[in-house]
Amino acid sequence: MQEINAGIFKAYDIRGIYPSEINEDLIYKIGQAYVKVVQPNGKIAVGHDVRLSSEKLSESLIKSLTDAGIDVVDVGLISTEMLYYAVGNFGYQGGLQVTASHNPAEYNGLKMVREEAKPISSDTGIYEMRDLIIAGKEKVDSDTKGSVEKKDIMVDFAQFVLKYVDISAIKPLKLVYNPNFGLEGEVLKKVIEAGNLPLEIVGLNNTPDGNFPKGRPDPFRPENRPEFVELVKSSNADLGVAWDADADRVFFCTKSGNFLEPYYLNALLIKLQLEKKPGSTIVYDPRFTWAIIDSAKENGGNAVVSRVGHSFIKEKMREVDGIFCGESSGHTYFKDFWYADSGIIPLLLVLELVSKKGDLDALLKPYFDKYFMPGEINTEVNDAQAKIKEIKEKYADGKQDELDGISIEYPDWRFNVRSSNTEPLLRLCLEAKSKELMEEKKDEVLGIIRG
C-alpha cells in the first residue's frame, strides 16, 4: 500500500504541495496509472508550466510513460491551452500538463486529457488512478520502451489561434498585458508576430518566473488587481488583459480602469458567437446565470447548465453540442477548440470587437445596468456542509437546485453557495435586479455563512 494524501486528487485535476504531497516518485506512479486507466494506443503529449519543480516532474512523468511502452511527444514549456491544442491538432491519444494553475509557487500537479483533448475528471479516471496507486496496483508491465520526441509547437499554435478572428479588422491598439509571471506573455508576442498585429504592448509581471515573486499568480484575486488596473489607466491603454500562471483563465480591464467580472463579458461573447452560429447551444454554470441565459435567448440560442469545473463543462458541451461556455472564474471554452478553454482566443475576439465597435465600457453598459452582482465571495468555514444545510432551511421558500452546491432563486434575486473543488473555501455568488437589493441580500447570506 502506498501512503499518499488522497486529497490531492481533485474533482478535475491533481494538485498538491511539492515535494511533500506530490513529487517525482508519485508522479511516476500517476503516469503508470494514467496508462492503465486510459489505455492509449498512440502518442501522448507531455508539457509543463514555469514552476520551479515542473521540469523535474515532467521528466519523471515522461520516464513513467515510456517505461510503460508509450511513445511521448515532449512539448516542453507551454501554456495549458497549448496542451489541448497539441492533443487535438496533431491527433495524439492523450496529454498531461504538469501545472498547479493559479495555486502558489509551492504547489504542483497535473491536468490530464484523453484523445481529442477530452477531459479526465473524478468521474472519468482521476479517482480510479488514485485508487490504483493507493492499492499499489498502478504498475504497467511492458516488454518495449516508448520513444521520446521533442516538439516546439509555439509557432503552430500562434498561427492556429489567429484563425478565430479577422486579423485585418484589428486596428492599432495599446494593450497592457499581465501574465502573472507565467508563459502567456511569450505566447502573446508570438501571436502578434505571426499575425503582424498592429498592437503596442505594455508588460506587467511579464518575465516568466516560477518563484511567482508577487505571490499567488491569480489575477482574479482582488489584491492582485490594483497594480494591473493602475497601469492600464496610467499608460492610456485601450484595454488590459491578465492571465493566471498557466493561462487557461483570462480577465480584462477597460481603458477606464474597470476590471471586468467575466460574467458580463461572457454575455457579450455569447451574443457574438450566436451571431455567427444562430440557433446554437451555449453552456453555463450555476454561479451567475441571468445575463448568460438572457443573452442566449435574446440572440436565438439555447442555454444548458453544467456543474462547475473545466472537466464537467467540457463533458456537458460535448453532450449537448454546445458551441461556447464562459465561466465566471475566467475559463472560456470553444467547440472548435476541442471544447477546451483558451486564454489567448478570448483576447483576439475582444481585440477584434473593440476595433470594430469601440470601447468595452460602452458595449457592456447594458449588462451593467441590468444585472447586479458583487463578484464571487470566498469564506473559510469549519463545516461547509452544515452551512449549506442551514442556508437551504433558511430559504426553503425559494426555488432550489442542488446540481452544484445549492442554488436558490427568487423573482428578483438569486444565489449559489458551493464548496470549492480546489481550495478549502465556501463560495458565494449572488445577483439581483437592483444594486440595493444585491447589497442587502449579499450581507444577509454572508451573515449566515460567517455567523
CATH 3.40.120.10 occupies which residues in the chain? 6-151, 156-254
Please indicate, yes or no, whether the overall pTM of this predicted structure exceeds 0.85: yes
Q: Which CATH architecture has domain 156-254?
A: 3-Layer(aba) Sandwich (3.40)
CATH 3.30.310.50 occupies which residues in the chain? 377-450
- Please check the confidence at residue 12 and state whether its pLDDT lies above 90: no
Render pLDDT for 32-83 as a digit per residue (tens, 0 to 9).
999 999 999 999 999 999 999 999 999 999 999 999 999 999 999 999 999 9
Render pLDDT for 178-214 as a digit per residue (tens, 0 to 9).
999 999 999 999 999 999 999 999 999 999 999 999 9
CA distances from 14 to 92, 133, 196 (A): 21, 13, 38
Asked if 93 and 114 touch (Cβ cutoff 8 Å), the reply is yes
- Please check the confidence at residue 363 and state whether its pLDDT lies above 70: yes
Render pLDDT for 134-171 as a digit per residue (tens, 0 to 9).
999 999 999 999 999 999 999 999 999 999 999 999 99
Q: Out of 79, 101, 121, 122, which one is annotated catalytic? A: 101
Render pLDDT for 415-446 as a digit per residue (tens, 0 to 9).
999 998 666 789 999 999 999 999 999 999 99
Instruction: List the Cα angle 167/171/174 in 5-degree steps.
Output: 115
Render pLDDT for 302-316 as a digit per residue (tens, 0 to 9).
999 999 888 889 989
CATH number at 377-450: 3.30.310.50
Q: Chain-wide mean pLDDT for the chain?
A: 96
- Please check the confidence at residue 93 and state whether its pLDDT lies above 60: yes
Average pLDDT over residues 113-138: 96
What top-level class would CATH report for the domain 6-151? Answer: alpha beta
For residue 125, what are the contacts with CB-CB under 8 A and spacing of at least 6? Answer: 34, 37, 38, 112
Render pLDDT for 252-298 as a digit per residue (tens, 0 to 9).
999 999 999 999 999 999 999 999 999 999 999 999 999 999 999 99
- Please check the confidence at residue 121 and state whether its pLDDT lies above 70: yes
Q: Does the annotation count 101 as an active-site position?
A: yes
Residue 18's pLDDT band (cuts 50, 70, 90): very high
Instruction: Please count the CA atoms within 13 angstroms of the CA of 74 that sit on its side-chain side.
Output: 17
For residue 447, what are the contacts with CB-CB under 8 A and spacing of at least 6? Answer: none
- Please check the confidence at residue 1 and state whether its pLDDT lies above 70: no
Instruction: Please count the CA atoms within 13 angstroms of the CA of 191 that sit on its side-chain side.
Output: 24
- Please check the confidence at residue 2 and state whether its pLDDT lies above 70: no
pLDDT of residue 68: 98
